[in-house]
Homo-oligomer: A and B are copies of this chain.
């Protein structure tokens, strides 16, 4: 039984994982290719061989996080019946254990900041924002008028980001359930006004 995935794919995954680890651990994108490569157990030249440059490696790391998040969402969506449940599923997915732990949150924050100076990073984050907001809006349209749905989705998106931001800088880790409860409460309050 030979490995189903090629050696190249294996190495790329290891490098992406190592990049994520270094970035989260050091809390900055100012990590050297050599550090990442060492953590992945290869030479820095190999990282360049597979990814071209440091920026490409970091972009690939962002894409990986994004894909993971997407998986989380579709998984949660699958078992959701009705618009309100789909709304809750989207919120719950945003705080899934895969995303909402310190290392990942730190990485997200560094990526957000990077987006200010990297068009590629900005593009990826815009895609993520659009997707999240689209999910929220779609679910909300089943409960509230379209205009209200869009407004509430915008607020929820900002709130989710805000909770992440606070968590990134908080010395004591927050329980994901508490974060979910905060956002759920906001959604319920907003909806109680538009669906009497």
Residues of A within 8 A of B (CB): 26-28, 30, 106, 109-110, 112-117, 122, 125-126, 129, 154-155, 157-163, 165-166, 168-169, 182, 185-186, 189-190, 192-193
Contacts and interface: CB of A to CB of B under 8 A. Distances in A.
A122 B169 contact: yes
Contact of A26 (B27, B117, B129, B166): B117
Count of chain copies: 2
Contacts of A30: 30, 117
Contacts of A109: 112-113, 116
A73 B157 CA distance: 26
A192 B190 CA distance: 11
Contacts of A117: 26-28, 30
Contacts of A189: 186, 189-190, 192-193
Nearest to A156: B162
Given A112-B113, A158-B165, A162-B162, 19 more contacts: A27-B113, A27-B116, A27-B117, A28-B113, A28-B116, A109-B113, A116-B168, A122-B169, A126-B169, A154-B182, A155-B182, A157-B162, A158-B163, A158-B166, A161-B162, A162-B163, A186-B189, A189-B190, A189-B193
